[in-house]
Structure 1
Amino acid sequence: MSDRRILPSQLERMVYETIRDEIVSGALRPGEQLVEGRLAAELGVSKTPVREALIRLQRDGLVEIAPYRGARVIVPVDDDIAEITELRVCLETFIARDIAARRPTDVLEALETSIAGSCKALADRAEEQFVDRLSDFSDILAEACGNKRMKKILGDLRSVLHFIGNSSRRIQGRAARSIAQHEAILEAIKAGDPDAAAEATAVHIRSIAEDCRKAQVPNGDGRLPGPAANAPRAKARTRARANR
């Protein structure tokens, strides 16, 4: 019989991915305290992989760890949003120009499929599928870019970008705006207009940033708005326990 024991490194990765996904989805809210003991109990693991996961999430820019205060989910401030937004604009407008100049058929078809999937998921109120299809659009463009270093930078930023994007979806109408903006980007690419594709991409990214800023304004009770997605925390944590 083969040895099916879970190695410590595998367990740490599972815990990291579970907590990361809950932060990105909004199941763990901005500013929420991340108590090692509580997370360990809910995930059915010891504190060690939780502690290592939180350190890694701090490097990702999703968690803050302060002496004597522990860890908490970051609350994006204007400077954070501005820096991430401008970096994304620089990278993704370059990619949009490149794709618009080349107009590869397979990429255009994949982008159309992504938009169609987003529309269907939104109509069906399938939140998880909507997030996945919406993310596909940027991922398709990044993958089609021939610049390996640019793809790596976007890959390293992926979790933070999704966190910002999901935060913005707390604002009414954000989902429909994202679809419309994706359609504008695709139309510019199909027309072979690099300038229009870059402009549509910049408008989309800055629109997300503006909605993210609005989402950080507390409600009347002093709490930030609730999760953007109805992310099933118990489901994610059950999966982590099952994978042990």
Structure 2
Amino acid sequence: MKVAIYNNNVSRSVAVAKQIRSLLKQKSAGQITFDADYPDIVLSIGGDGTLLSAFHHYRKQLASIRFIGIHTGHLGFYADWQHTEIPALVDSLLADNGEEVDYPLLAGRIHFRDGREKRVLALNEAVIKRQLGTLSAAVYINGQLFERFRGDGLVVSTPTGSTAYNKSVGGAVVHPTLETMQMAEIASINNRVFRTLGSPIVLSKDDTVRVVNDSRARDVSFHYDNLNILSHDIAWMEFKVAPQKIQFAQYRHMNFWKRIEMSFIGPEGN
């Protein structure tokens, strides 16, 4: 089995990476090797931002890679292991049986006014905003006009991303085994002139959402996960549930609702 270690530069993460390398060399007897280019398992050491970076680094190999998150920061929503549990993690790697759990991703297509297109893949969400002023856009679902949006922006998220920016703007938390995407509004304007649904919507894996930029609003920015596209030339963006999925090694993958409790609520009485 080939393993890659992907860590941030925080001192604790660097120390954990060193500890894992040392223990694997001592215990694996050649059973596990290190391969940063074509690994079977990627150990992400840090926080959620590190996992997002690892995901995008290996996005073209998702079908053959499983991820493991090791938490060394403040909030590691994607992490199943703490930095104090490295010996147990190494033992699990040595006893690997190939089991996995997979979660849906978001596929995005950005069309520019000059005819260029860019396709992106997101683990958490895509966000459409204007750099200055109010976003004005027509929203189509499966080719039919749904609403004409005016406000700060729109968030289209995956189920795992439903706990990130989506949650902060009032979106619902969605279980990650559901093959859906969600669209939530950021400070929409609703009055006698402008009217939107005003609520998040959850769409099926067969649905497509297209957001068409108003021709008068050319300074639209597009952000996906921890990446961004800054352009004055975006014409429209289209989203659907991606055919690819992200796979996590299921040594002891944490129950989703337990993860929600630990991340946002805490122990009873606190």
Report the TM-score, using the length of structure 1 for normalisation: 0.27
Higher Cα radius of gyration: 2
Answer 1 or 2: higher relative contact order, Cα 8 Å, separation at least 6: 1
Q: Which has the higher helix share?
A: 1
* Greater fraction strand: 2
Under a length normalisation based on structure 2, what TM-score does the superposition of the two structures give? 0.26
